[in-house]
Structures are given as structure tokens and as C-alpha cells.
Structure 1
Amino acid sequence: MTPITKMTEQIGRRKIDIDDPRFRIKPHQQIASACTGGIITSLIMTPLDVVKTRIQTQQKLLLSNKCFLYCNGLMDHLCPCGPNSAPMKNHVHLNGTIDAVLKISRSEGIKSLWSGLGPTLVSALPSTVIYFVSYEQIRNHTKDWHNKYIGTSGMPVYVPLFSGVLSRIFAVTLVSPLELIRTKMQSQKMTYKEMTTAVRSMINAEGALVLWKGLPPTIYRDVPFSGIYWSCYEALKWYYQVTEPTFGFSFTAGALSGSIAATITTPFDLIKTYQQIEFGEQVIYTDKPRQNIPIKTTTQRLKEVYRAHGVRGLFVGLGPRLAKVAPACAVMISSFEYGKSFFYNLNVHRYDEKLLIMQNVNNHAK
């Protein structure tokens, strides 16, 4: 048996380890995987959420100065529902999902099923990429630190928990000012020059921290969700001894992990939705001075809901939330993992090619 043949057989018997430092996914490959996953998620989930939101809010379309919320798996998207808004002008009564798809397509055009897709790709896609790449980088470095100083292999539960929490804080903090600017530009049709003037006025009046006005409730909802989600997902991979997840496994595990995280964090999502809707009604879609609007903390709002409706009131909307979160998580993580698997195998192939070339060179030199 020649040395090259022997090396080829050893390569074929190599155990798959997607976290092997020699073949680990590089940052630019993580970006490509996250970007692909984000695009696929938004393309699939946006029509489903548009239909769901239209059905849920059609009874309120006659109210003026109201707004409703799209959430297509990557971002929340405020839309006006006043008498001059597009949904009001083209209003038809919707009976179920299939009926809604047909009627919306006929009356408003099939493109309307992807309402909010543009802002998602421009605004939320970078946030998604930052989030997933940050998670992978923090997870890899934390795991390496654990293996080096603690001395045990595997994936301790604190690694995905810590990585998920830190990466989400980083992502939402970074894009929070952009979200505020995006929402205001969409609602008031501002030019970039007008937006710049408005932002300067806000900063002069209330300080630079006004750009992070909606950050606390977002952190209360998204950060626990992220920590729980990644902990559950990595635990499922460890339990079933999966090192390179198949599309089917990551899809199922992503849906299950997303459902668990969504259930636990529903009270915070409820409060976040209240605040976004109130912000749209009281600030974005009216001319009321901001100082005349009462500000309540997340804790105060949770207490109010609990006193009025009990524990059940804190979990209002859990069904619809699971209906959108579970498939969105499933599509996003399975697409992301598929991209990682592709780049992992590409890195392994390139590494093996280099080994064989070096071995061949050494044999000729002898």
C-alpha cells in the first residue's frame, strides 16, 4: 500500500466534527450561510404573516389612526390602517388563509403578499447576519476556552446559553437606532434629508439615548428567547449525538426549540407588541407631542395585565405566536445549518487536497 493510498483511506475514515478547528467555518462563510437563511426565511414567511395579519386586523380597518404589526420571522413591521392606507382602500372581507391569498392577490396584486419584504431585506437581514455570525464566533471561542481550561469535551449548557444571550444583545443594540429610523421613514414618507433633521431634533431634545428608546422591551423579549432557543437546540443535537445536522433534523429541532422559547417569552412579546402599537398610534401616526404621552415600564405593564386577566392574560396570542415563530425558526436554522454543512465539507475537501499534494511532493523529493 502506497503512502498516498494509506492517507486516502485515513481521510475516508475520518470522523465528522463540524467544530474541528482545521475545518471550522470561516466568518465570511458564516455570513453567506446566515444571509441565505435570512433570505429564504423572509421569502417563505412574509406571505404567511401578511395573510394572518390581514385576517386578524380586518375588523379594525374602519378605525382611523391605527396600525398593525407584521412579523415575518426576521423583523417587526408597523403598517398604518387609517382610512387612506393601502389596506383600507383595497379592503375585502377575508375568510380563511386560501381565500385571503386569492382575494389579496386579485385586488392588490400578488406582490402585496410580500408587503414589508423590502424593509426586511434592507434592515433585518443585516441584523440576522450579525446575530448568527456573532453566535457562532462566541460559541466557538467559549467552547474552545472551556475545553482548554476546564478540560472536558462536549457542549456544556452554559455555552449556547451565554452565546445566545450575548449575540442577541449585541445584534439588537447595534440595529436599534436603525429600526427607529426605518419605522419613522416608512410611516411618514420622509426623505433622507428630512430624516436627518428629525433625528438631530430628537437627539437635541432628549439626548442620544433616544435612538435606543425601544431597546429595553426588545431585550426583555429577544434575549431570553435567544438563550433558551440555542440551549434547547444544542441540547437536542447532543442528546441525539448529531454532529452534522441534516436538513430534516435541524428543521424539526429548530421548530421545537423555537416553540419552547416562544412559549416562555410570550408575556414579554405581549408587552413589546402593546408598546409598538401604542408608539405607532400615539407618536408615529399622530402629531401628539411626545412629552404628553405617559411612559410605563415593562414591569408595570406586566403587573397591569396580570391584575386584569391573571396568568392566562400574560399568554394571550401564544397560538398565533407559535404559528409564526416555529416555522420561522425551523426554516432559518435548517437553511443556516445546510449552508454550514456545505462550507464544512468544502473546507475538508480543500484541506485533504493540500495534504495529498504535500504528500505527493515529499514522495517525489525522496
Structure 2
Amino acid sequence: MNGQTPGSPALNGITPVQQMISSCSGALLTSLLVTPLDVVKTRLQAQNNPLGKGKYFVYCNGLMDHICVCENGRGWYKAAGQFKGTFDAFYKIVCCEGITALWSGLPPTLAMAVPATVIYFTCYDQLCAALRARMGERSQEAPLLAGAIARVGSATVISPLELIRTKLQSQKQSYGELTSLIRSVVQAEGWWSLWRGLGPTLLRDVPFSAMYWYNYERGKNWLCQWYNTREPTFTITFISGAGSGSVSTSPPPSGSTIWMQNWITYLSGPVSSSTFSIMKKIVAHDGFRGLFAGFFPRLIKVAPACAIMISSYEFGKAFFRKHNQERILPQVHSTNT
């Protein structure tokens, strides 16, 4: 019925499980390739503003941002000397601490980024296909809406987990104490306290997601026409992902500085501050330029991260699509004969 054989994939020739595997592989690859860049960036910043025990800092691998806590009294890093630049930092970190130091902080990144990316990309594809079928002549706008909704869903699901992870790290509690931690937070401030910091995250990420997917789909279609091909190649998806990530990364008034301040305010004590009150404090202290702090470092990471993530995701989907076609065609042939 509907021209499909039993067991055939329901969306674009692949199943939701295969979409999840593709997005999971993309998140792993992106984290492995981009994490060393952020480690070096953070270490370069730390030599000008040393991070002592108990200090918080933002860690971003291009997929997600995390609040991390320094755990030892001499800072979160070994003394590798004074860095003169990016390449010098790479060399000295590898020589003094070993090559594995370039992937410091990777486990918590994978623990949060992988499930968030799986939810995000799978929801986007499912929503986009459903919206295109319903929107008719306006189907080209489906990626805009699907991207926004998918980002809201993934951020809402992951936000409580990120809060719990950060509090576990900052308060040195074991995973066995997780239930009592959640109960104490809910009793003290209610269920909504688990989503503290979600507002500024959505304010930054939802517009980016909507514009990213819209620009990506348009760019991909344009390049397919340029190269006269029906199926996008790895090069096409890589260029489209990098270009869309660069164009879509606008400096919203809820950038990394506000997001970090909101979380640190919560983790440091019971004092509650809204996003807009924190924005006012930043403007009063640093001016309007303070609202855009961290924009250019974020842009440098977002473009390659988007390119690696989307191209590997599309490659995975193409692999499964070809595999499914090879598996289904013999069944169709035997049925017809």
C-alpha cells in the first residue's frame, strides 16, 4: 500500500533508527575533531586569566556549550609554559602533557552532545518531511519551522540533564546521590528550577537553528543544480554546512556571556536573576559590546563543526539509503516474478 513493501523505510528511504545512528556518528566525529581547538582556545584564555579551584568556565565544541568547574588548586591544567600562539599551544600541550590532553573534557561533551544531537537531527528530518507534505507551495519554508521546533525540543530535554551534571561536578557528589540531589533542588525551588538557563539558551539557539537549516537546504539545492546532480555529494553538503553555519551565526543579545552568568548565578547560591537583569548588568559594566562577547571565537568553531556534522550525517543517511535499496530490490523482484 502507498507503493511500499512491508518493512520498507518510511522517510526518504531510511528509518528513524538509521537516522539516529547517522547523527550519533556525526556527533562523535565532530566532537573528536573540534574538541582540540576549544582546548587550545580555553588554555590561551586561561594564561591571561588563570583558572583556580572552583572557578567556572564555558566549554564549547561547536555542538554544545557546557559550564565546567576547575577541580585542582593549581588550575585545571599542568604548567606547559607561556603560549605564544595557537600552534605554539598545540606543540607545548602535546610535549608537556601528552596528545590526550587535547581531548580534555571530551567525556562530558559526549555525554551531553550525543543524545542532544540525536534528538535534534532526527526530530528535524521527521518534522521537515511532515511539514513539506502539508505546506504545499510554501514547502521551501519547512526547514525554517522544523529547525526551530527541533531545537526547542532538544534543548528542553537536555537542559535538566546539563544542570544536574554541572551540580554533580561542582559539589563533588557521586552518581549514587543523584536522586537526593534532584529531590533537594525540586523541593527548594520547584520543578521549573530544573530548566534554569533554558530561556537564554533558546533565545540564542532557536533563531540560529531556523536560519541554519533554511540556508543549508537552499544552499544544498543550489549547489546540486550547479553541479547538475540529483543527489548531494559529500563536498556539496560540507560546503553548504560550513557556509550556512557562518551566515546563520548572528550575535544575539543572549550570547555565551549571559548564558554563563545565568548558570553561575544559580550554581553559586540561591540568588535568582533573570536573563534581562543579567543583560542590564553586563551593559552597565561593559557596555553593549559586552553582550556580544565570545561571538568571533564561536563563529570560528561553528563553521567547521557544522560542516563536519552535517556532511557526516548526510553521508550516513546516504549509506543506509543505498543499503536499504539493495535489500528491498531483490524482495520486489521476487514478488513480481
Q: TM-score range by the shorter chain?
A: 0.7 to 0.9
Identity %: 45
Q: Aligned partners of 1:206 and 1:50: how far apart in 2?
A: 34
- Aligned with 1:317 (options 294, 297, 312): 294
Task: Provide the rounded CA distance (Å) in 1 between the counterparts of 2:11 and 2:287.
Answer: 54
Does residue 188 of the first structure (1) align with residue 165 of the second (2)? no
Contact 1:221 1:272 in 2 (8 A): no
Question: How far apart, in 2, do the equivalents of 1:168 and 1:176 lie?
Answer: 12
Partner of 1:15: none
Query: Which residue in 1 is equivalent to 2:205?
Result: 222
- Indicate whether 1:257 and 2:244 are aligned: yes
Please give the alpha-carbon distance, in whole angstroms, between the structure 2 residues aligned to 1:324 and 1:22.
Answer: 31
- Alignment CA distance shift 1:266-1:34 (3 Å): farther
- Aligned to 2:83, what secondary structure does the other structure show? coil
In the TM superposition, what whole-angstrom CA distance separates every residue of 1:70-91 from its partner, at most 9, and x where no partner exists? 1012222333347615535535
The residue correspondences of 1:95-114 to structure 2 (distance < 5 A) are 95-114=84-103
Match of 1:364 in 2: none
Alpha-carbon distance in 1 for matches of 2:216, 2:296:
21
Cα distance in 2 for partners of 1:232, 1:30 equals 21
Q: Is the 8 A contact 1:68 1:80 kept in 2?
A: yes
User: Is the aligned partner of 1:47 residue 2:36?
Assistant: yes
Which runs of 5 or more residues in structure 1 are unaligned? 1-19, 284-289, 362-366
Q: How does 1:105-144 map to 2 (within 5 A)?
A: 105-144=94-133
Question: SS in structure 2 opposite 1:25?
Answer: coil
In 2, the alpha carbon distance for the partners of 1:188 and 1:338 equals 41
2:116 partner letter = S
The corresponding residue for 2:6 is: none
Which is higher, the Rg of structure 1 or of structure 2? Answer: 1
1:120-171 per-position Cα deviation (integer Å, ceiling 9, x unaligned):
222220111011001011111111222xxx3x4x8422x1111111111111
CA distance in 2, matches of 1:81, 1:193: 22
Once the two structures are superposed, the pairs formed by residues 69-84 of structure 1 within 5 Å of their partners are: 69-81=58-70, 84=73
CA distance in 1, matches of 2:240, 2:51: 42
Aligned to 2:158: 175
Corresponding residue number in structure 2 for 1:38: 27
Distance 1:239 1:128 in 2: 26
- The size of the alignment, in residue pairs, is 325
- Asked if structure 2 preserves the Cα contact closer than 8 Å seen for 1:127 and 1:175, the reply is yes
TM, length-normalised to structure 2: 0.87
Q: 1:336 to 1:90 in 2, by over 3 A?
A: same
Q: Which moved more, 1:261-270 or 1:72-81?
A: 261-270
Please give the per-residue CA displacement for 1:166-212, whole angstroms capped at 9, x wherever unaligned. 11111111111111111122233311233322221111111111111
- Report whether the alignment pairs 1:156 with 2:140: yes
RMSD, aligned CA: 2.5
Q: Bigger shift: 220-229 or 241-250? A: 241-250
Runs of 4+ in structure 1 off by over 6 angstroms are none
Query: Secondary structure in 1 aligned to 2:255?
Result: helix
**3-state SS of 2:159 partner:** helix
- Deviating more after overlay: 103-112 vs 50-59: 103-112
For 1:339, which of 296, 299, 316 is the aligned residue? 316
Residue 306 of structure 1: CA displacement?
Answer: 4.9
Match of residue 275, structure 2, among 288, 295, 298: 298
Distance 2:241 2:287 in 1: 30
| Matching residue of 2:304 | 327
Q: Is the 8 A contact 1:63 1:83 kept in 2?
A: yes
Kept in 1: contact 2:67–2:260 (CA 8 A): no
Question: CA–CA distance in 2 between the matches of 1:22 and 1:218?
Answer: 30
Paired letter, 1:129: V
3-state SS of the aligned residue for 1:341?
Answer: helix
Change in Cα spacing, 1:26 to 1:83, as seen in structure 2 (3 Å) is closer
CA distance in 2, matches of 1:228, 1:124: 21
Instruction: Give the match for residue 185 of structure 2.
Output: 202
Long gaps (5+) in structure 2:
1-8
TM-superposed CA distance for 1:220, in Å, is 0.9
1:193–1:247: structure 2 CA closer, same or farther, 3 Å change rule?
Answer: same
Contact kept, 8 Å, 1:31 with 1:133, in 2: the verdict is yes
TM-score (structure 1 length as normaliser): 0.80
Of 57-66 and 223-232, the range deviating more from structure 2? 57-66
* Partner deviation per Cα, 1:277-333 (whole Å, 9 max, x = no partner): 5556xx2xxxxxx33x351x3234445545666654433332211111111111100
2:51 and 2:335 mapped to 1: Cα distance? 74
Amino acid of the structure 1 residue aligned with 2:146: S
